[in-house]
């Protein structure tokens, strides 16, 4: 089927806070300023129905930007070269769009997309207007009454939980709550400033041409693996542990990683619970980057030939080391830069969006049908994002871009076998 283009977009407009807000300069944290989060992240929230959603969301944004006033500002560089936020109340860019088709015509924006990504992305009037921007939003309305909200946020200002917190607040404003349920906290200066370490590896050049695929792991398979893990070890494990193990083992087998050498899986973990001494209320309301990268390295043979339960054990051992790693980083005793990525083909990077809050953004017509990350083409690292599945399914959705074309058939076979054999 041909692509269906968005037929109309309003000129981008700035949405500012609806009431006066504080002005001035706010600092970013040492985590906010790492190169690992200095980019725009794009996603779409898909909704089955709504009434004049563009108007409602625009007004709700304006209200939410009062307590979240830094988001209406701009990222600037000081005279000393430090990256900061100028609280100028300039506003966030907002675009209204409509498309002459129904949600079903485009398969509710499931992959592969039948609307070009560029048509879904909000853009400012000119490239100059993009400088320092923290947030852009586009609401695209369909003829059936469904709509999609595209969010482009600067990762230096929010981590996933922080962005989810902000947009849940927008939803609460749309539902006419007097204030956000969770009060936002800036508090970036409280994050420790450990010394900088050596930069990360150079990416592979040219980058591999990863193929994008999506898998749904059924809830019953997840529960069966959890039960098997408990039976064999006497301990419990999480859905993330299982999905990470299944994906890591399947990919390692598919790329021939069992033939020798090490393979690596990396992921970032929320560390708000480890910030009790520096953030108020154990980080409740903190919407900045509060994550720390960790991961597991093992021989390809151990991962490829191990059972899922054994690979889950490797994931859990890596997670157990997190608190000590963070403590060493705070004290300036880290042995390597936590933001240093692994860029070889044997490395896999995982991101868990299933619990950050995007799936609970309710503007008054219920939660989104599903969440669609818009991963950039040509990225350097093998990666996967974990998502809640569409509303009619239970389990976990994996959106992966982690193998090249020649490894895809074997990868599909391994994933199907791992997900369906339990």
Element (H, E) at 370: strand 370-373
The Cα–Cα gap between 215 and 200 comes to 31
Asked if residues 222 and 396 have their Cβ atoms less than 8 Å apart, the reply is: yes
Q: Residue 102: enclosing H or E segment and its boundaries?
A: none
Beta strand pairing call for 135-142 and 92-99? parallel
**Quick one: which H or E segment has residue 88?**
none
- Give the burial class of 257: count Cβ atoms within 10 A of its Cβ; 0-12 exposed, 13-18 middle, 19 or more buried: buried
Give the whole-angstrom CA distance, residue 193 versus residue 199: 16
Active site residues: 155, 362
From CA 170, how far away is CA 162, in angstroms rounded? 13
Joined tokens for residue 179: 């204030």
* Cα atoms in the 13 Å half-sphere on the side-chain side of 70: 23
> In angstroms, how far apart are the furthest CA atoms of the chain?
63
């Amino acid at each position: 089927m041909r692509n269906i283009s968005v037929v109309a977009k309003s000129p981008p407009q700035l949405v500012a806070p609806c009431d006066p807000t504080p002005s001035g300069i706010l600092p970013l944290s040492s985590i906010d300023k790492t190169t690992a989060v200095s980019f725009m992240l794009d996603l779409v929230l898909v909704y089955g129905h709504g009434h004049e959603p563009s108007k409602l969301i625009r007004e709700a944004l304006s209200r939410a930007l009062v307590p979240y006033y830094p988001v209406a500002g701009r990222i600037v560089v000081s005279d000393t070269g430090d990256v900061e936020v100028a609280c100028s109340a300039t506003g966030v860019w907002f675009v209204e769009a409509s498309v002459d088709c129904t949600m079903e015509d485009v398969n509710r924006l499931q992959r592969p997309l039948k609307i070009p990504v560029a048509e879904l992305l909000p853009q400012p009037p000119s490239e100059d207007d993009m400088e320092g921007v923290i947030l852009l939003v586009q609401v695209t309305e369909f003829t059936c009454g469904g709509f999609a909200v595209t969010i482009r946020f600067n990762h230096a200002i929010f981590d996933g939980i922080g962005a989810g917190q902000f947009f849940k607040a927008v939803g609460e404003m749309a539902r006419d709550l007097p204030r956000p349920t969770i009060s936002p906290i800036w508090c970036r200066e409280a994050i420790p400033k450990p010394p900088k370490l050596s930069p990360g590896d150079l990416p592979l050049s040219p980058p591999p041409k990863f193929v994008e695929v999506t898998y749904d792991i059924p809830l019953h398979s997840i529960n069966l693996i959890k039960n098997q893990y408990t039976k064999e070890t006497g301990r419990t494990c999480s859905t993330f542990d299982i999905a990470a193990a299944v994906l890591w083992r399947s990919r390692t087998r598919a790329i021939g990683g069992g033939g020798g050498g090490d393979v690596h899986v990396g992921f970032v973990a929320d560390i708000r619970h480890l910030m009790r001494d520096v953030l108020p209320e154990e980080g409740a309301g903190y919407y900045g980057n509060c994550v720390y990268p960790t991961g597991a390295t093992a021989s390809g043979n151990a991962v490829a030939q191990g059972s899922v339960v054994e690979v889950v054990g490797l994931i859990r051992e890596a997670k157990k080391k997190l608190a000590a790693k963070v403590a060493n980083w705070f004290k300036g005793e880290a042995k390597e830069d936590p933001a240093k990525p692994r860029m070889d083909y044997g490395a896999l990077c995982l991101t868990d969006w299933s619990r950050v809050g995007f799936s609970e953004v309710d503007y008054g017509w219920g939660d989104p049908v599903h969440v669609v990350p818009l991963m950039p083409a040509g990225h350097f690292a093998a990666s996967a994002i974990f998502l809640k599945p569409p509303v009619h399914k239970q389990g976990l959705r994996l959106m992966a871009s982690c193998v090249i074309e020649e490894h895809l058939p074997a990868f599909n076979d391994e994933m199907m076998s791992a997900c369906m054999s339990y």
